[in-house]
Structure 1
Amino acid sequence: MLEIGMMDLGLLMGEGELAGEMALLLASTPKISEFLKRSPLQGKLLKKRIQSWSEQLGEEMRHKPVPVALEREYLLYQAHRLLPLSELVGRLPSLLEALEQHSPFAGDARSLVRQIMVQPTESLRQLFIEKWRGSLVGSLLQLQQQIAEAEREKQRQEIEDQLLANRTLADALDPHQISAGGLWDLAQGSWHKRSLVLVKQYARMLQQEPLLAEIAALLGRSERDRRTDARVLPPVPVHELEEVQTDDVPDDLVGVHPANDLMRLLPSEAVMLALPELELEFYRRYLERRLLSYQSRGTLPRQRLMLRSPEQGGQEPQPRGPFIVCVDTSGSMGGYPEECAKALFLALLKVAMDEQRGCYLMLFSTEVATLEITAETGLDKAERFLSMSFHGGTDLVPCLEKALIRLEQPDFAKADVLVISDFIAQSLPHALLDRMNQRRKQGTHFHAVAMSRHAKAAILRVFDNSWLLDCGLRGRLLRRWQRS
């Protein structure tokens, strides 16, 4: 089957930049345009996504199949365009009959065939072939336009759904807009409307229990080096590069403007060259610099000399590894502790996305189940956990053993391990404690959040940091009274 790209080559078309025009139209839709203005940082990420989609669209369009009727007409054109006049005249009756079945060129062809049959000349032959080519170009451009419009509408819907998810996540988890962009990454992944409902539900729990958000924030803080002596140093001359915006550097497409730049001409303007009645209009607009063209803009570096004080020695953040979150899903964690555990996981997921850290969820009762959370699948997999019910017994040892095995992988170096449980369990074996101490020497931290005031202190002392959240009625009323 004939592809659009092959037909482009056969017709020597230069109107293959329709994808770029679709990208500009996509970016100018009301909701997307408003978001680009309101959120510059995330807007840059969205622009990159649109640019990537545009490049992919251009490649996909070249491999789209041509409709059967258009393919037949194109093959007829290729078979007749180089025929000498005498041979073409002999084939005109059968050719006209074929064109009248499916071609928009049939009307013009009928008129030209009559003229050629009356007075066959080389100029009429060339006119017939050029008119036919112009008709094929128009049909192909119309096909490309239809495909591009359909893909643009599909992409617009996907982006607007993502903007809705991003707004929902931001309102629920980041009302003060201090997130570093992790929620945007999370919104780009796969998710369902049910996921957003659950996010709102457990975000309200974070408002009821501020300690959960505080714990997540503390776990998200990067390690810092020890302070070094601060000395006052004299300013030193520094050559600094300053970026100056200019239209002469084609870094980004920023819009459409009237010009006479043939290299950046819109396909809709180039079509005029295929129609003799519009060809003079094309040249007139070219001379008047009124042809619609892509407007590009970029930056040029410029050096300037400045005096700057050297930065003082201090604390530099060190990157941490992923989060390994172990959640007790036993029956004793049902009810309010379950709600708090899910809300804390949601807060940690936000921190992990903000800091571009992995998040590995381990659910344990009598058995251990695992879920690896990424930006692409975060909301979808989180929904599975947020919608599940807790039941079964408690066995912490197998979960910690699996976590230690996971820590041996290079990607989990310097990972933080958090255990969320009521810690009403047996003491941990000495062999397991020795393995945990070995991991501490390699930078791993072990944390615990106890959801019951009956948690065993001996187990909590095993962890580097531990927090107690009494989920009983007494503890909840006490915290509410303290906040009032």
Structure 2
Amino acid sequence: MPKLKLQSAKQTQQALTAVTDQLYEELHQSSLKHWLEDEKAAKTLDEKVHAWAYQAKSSLDQQHPYQAVQLQLEQWLEQSAVSEAEFEQMHQQFQAFQQQLGMPAWGDLWQFQQHAGQPAKAALNLQFQLLKEKWQRKLTEAVAQWEFEQLALQRDAFLDEIKDFLATLQKMSKHKDALGADTGIFIDYSTGRLTEQDVLQFEEWSRYLAEDAELQKLCAMMGNAQPAKYKRKALQVQAAPLTPPLPDQHALEAISGIHLAQDLNLALPSELALLADPDLQILFDLKYLESNILGFHLQGEQSGRVIDDPRRAPKKLGQKGPMILCLDTSGSMHGQPELIAKAISLYLAMQSMKSKRPMYIINFSTNLTALDLNQGYALDDLIHFLSQSFHGGTDLVPAMQHAVEMLQQPSFGHADVLVISDFIMGGLPAELMENIEQLQQQGAGFYAAAIGNFRIEHLNDALFDHQWIYQANTGQVVQLS
């Protein structure tokens, strides 16, 4: 049975465009309209609107509420003529449809002719054709109205989501100076999953930084620290002949074939043609979700020189490499010390995001958990992670052992290891100290920031290249020799 084309793809697109224009118009009239003038924010907003429009269009392919009525009409459209009894049945179905739309009964014409006596066969068929046309027109209008209403509802929900995103961006961007960041950081590294509590926590850490110049100075010293015991040597680069050009999948220079993917920009015309037929749109959506859209495969070539294992070679003097941060959230850190430690951690993490410096955070007490910012985690994930606390005993050993293990990984070889704690703990095992000594000789740096009025001499001698104490009672930073 052929299915009625009640709403063309062009009409759906026109309705979607109208709703999208209304969305932008409302944003321009809101108190957040200044973000539309920010280049990066406007680009991100356009991307979100484009993704929403595609999702909204796909959702309209679901069965509309007049599916049963459409099926009835399709059955009558297959007939070229009807009997009087069949016409009466058809008329009753149409009247029920009218009532579903909330419209008054429409049957005076048919009732008049039926009361006048048996209509002629030609007159009956004419009425049949007119009723089919009337029914189809009303059904098309009803479906179009339903689609517009659905788009309007989705637009309102999406508009609230966008306003929440921009409001959160506005709150967080007020603290960019304290974090040494720019607005783009909050856009690039946000996935829009921050709750109101997350934003309040972020603002608390940021305000603490903004109001404490000594704490900002400590953050800068920790971020720029260099090993003191074993100086880093310049990176030895050994030139080698140019290698033959190699295929580069990221240099999209020339068509090299056809493959299955999810890239709409490179989709074959035959695939995009599916969107022109409402019956085939769902097939296109399924292929898109399964990354099975046929498209052009582009690639280029690259050439380069070979150097001596840059992942394991010592960093150049002054070069900022990866960072491993050990954050103490034990019970003794509860309160202001933990607030200070997390404010420092947030600053260092924001700086790592800004400079694209790999960073690995270990949250420890007697247990530990970790977050690798080098693995595509967003600012949302960072705030959620820093919000966690153990509030148990203090055991630095598992955290340092894990840091040593990470230093064996190519992506974190010769990283800087920073420990933020009150250091109310014992010493480290001799075997672990030997491992740390070897890593220091290879160029790794170990640094400590003690939060409180404690000294760190009770730990193993020469464990850290630099040691700082943030004195909570005076708000001063002391660097130990």
Smaller-chain TM-score bracket: 0.5 to 0.7
Amino acid at match of 2:162: I
Task: Within 5 Å, give how 1:189-204 maps onto structure 2.
Answer: 189-204=192-207
Deviation at 1:93, TM superposition (A): 0.8
Does the 8 A contact of 1:362 with 1:369 survive in 2? yes
Task: Give aligned pairs, total.
Answer: 378
Structure 2 spans left out of the alignment, 5+ residues: 227-232, 236-264, 266-315
Q: 2:165, 2:184 → 1: CA distance?
A: 13
2:309 corresponds in structure 1 to none
Pairing 1:96-175 to 2, within 5 Å after superposition:
96-103=91-98, 104=101, 110=107, 113=110, 117=119, 120=123, 125-174=128-177
- Which of 72, 77, 88 is the matching residue for 1:76? 72
Aligned to 2:64: 66
CA contact (8 A) 1:362 1:368 kept: yes
Shift of 1:343: 1.3
- Residue 441 of structure 1, CA deviation: 7.9
| Per-residue Cα deviation, 1:387-418 (whole angstroms, up to 9, x for no partner) | x4x74433212111122334555665665432
The aligned amino acid for 2:337 is: P
Cα deviation, 1:240-268, whole Å, max 9, x if unaligned, reads xxxxxxxxxxx9xxxxxxxxxxxxxxxxx
Structure with greater helix percent: 1
Give 3-state SS (helix, strand or coil) of 2:393's partner: coil
1:38 is matched with which residue?
Answer: 37
Report deviation, 1:226.
Answer: 7.6
Which amino acid in 2 is paired with 1:99? F
Q: CA deviation at 1:205?
A: 1.4
Partner residue, 2:304: none
Is the Cα–Cα contact under 8 Å of residues 450 and 456 in structure 2 kept in the other structure? yes
**Alpha-carbon distance between aligned partners in 2 of 1:381 and 1:348, rounded to the nearest angstrom:** 16
User: Alignment partner of 1:366: what SS?
Assistant: coil
Structure 2 residue 333 is matched with structure 1 residue 337: no
- Residue 348 of structure 1 deviates from its aligned partner by 2.6
Evaluate the alpha carbon distance shift between residue 357 and residue 19 of structure 1 in structure 2; reply closer, same or farther with a 3 A threshold. Answer: farther
Residues 134-156 of structure 1: CA distance to partner in whole angstroms, max 9, x if unpaired? 21111111111121111111111
2:11 aligned with 1:15: yes
**CA distance in structure 1 between the aligned counterparts of 2:217 and 2:202, rounded to whole angstroms:** 18
Amino acid at match of 1:384: S
Equivalences for residues 248-263 of structure 1 within 5 A:
none
- In the alignment, is the contact (CA less than 8 A) between 1:368 and 1:399 conserved in 2? yes
User: Which residue pairs with 2:455 in the alignment?
Assistant: 454
> Which residue of the partner structure matches residue 431 of structure 1?
431
Moved more, 30-39 or 94-103: 30-39
- In structure 2, relative to structure 1, the CA distance for the partners of 1:408 and 1:346 (3 Å cut) is same
1:348-359 equivalences in 2 (<5 Å):
348-355=348-355
Cα 1:108–1:403 change in 2 (3 A) is same
Q: Deviations over 1:315-366 (max 9, x none)?
A: 9x98954x53211233443443222112112223333443456654322233
Report the equivalent of 1:393. 393
1:74 positional shift = 0.3
**Residues in 2 aligned to 1:335 and 1:14: alpha-carbon distance in whole angstroms:** 60
Encode CA deviations 1:192-223: one digit per residue, 9 max, x unaligned: 22222222222221123234334545666799
- CA deviation after TM superposition for structure 1 residue 102, in Å: 3.0
Does the 8 A contact of 2:179 with 2:347 survive in 1? Answer: no
Q: 1:444 to 1:29 in 2, by over 3 A?
A: farther
**Gap runs ≥5 in structure 1:** 1-5, 228-250, 252-314, 480-484
2:211 to 208, 233, 236: 208
CA distance in 2, matches of 1:349, 1:456: 28
What is the rounded CA distance, in whole Å, between the counterparts of 1:460 and 1:112 in structure 2? 103
Counterparts of 2:470 and 2:37, CA distance in 1: 41
Q: In structure 2, do the counterparts of structure 1 residues 100 and 159 end up closer, same or farther at CA, with 3 Å as the change threshold?
A: same
Task: Check conservation: 1:192, 1:380, Cα contact below 8 A.
Answer: no
Identical aligned residues as a percent: 24
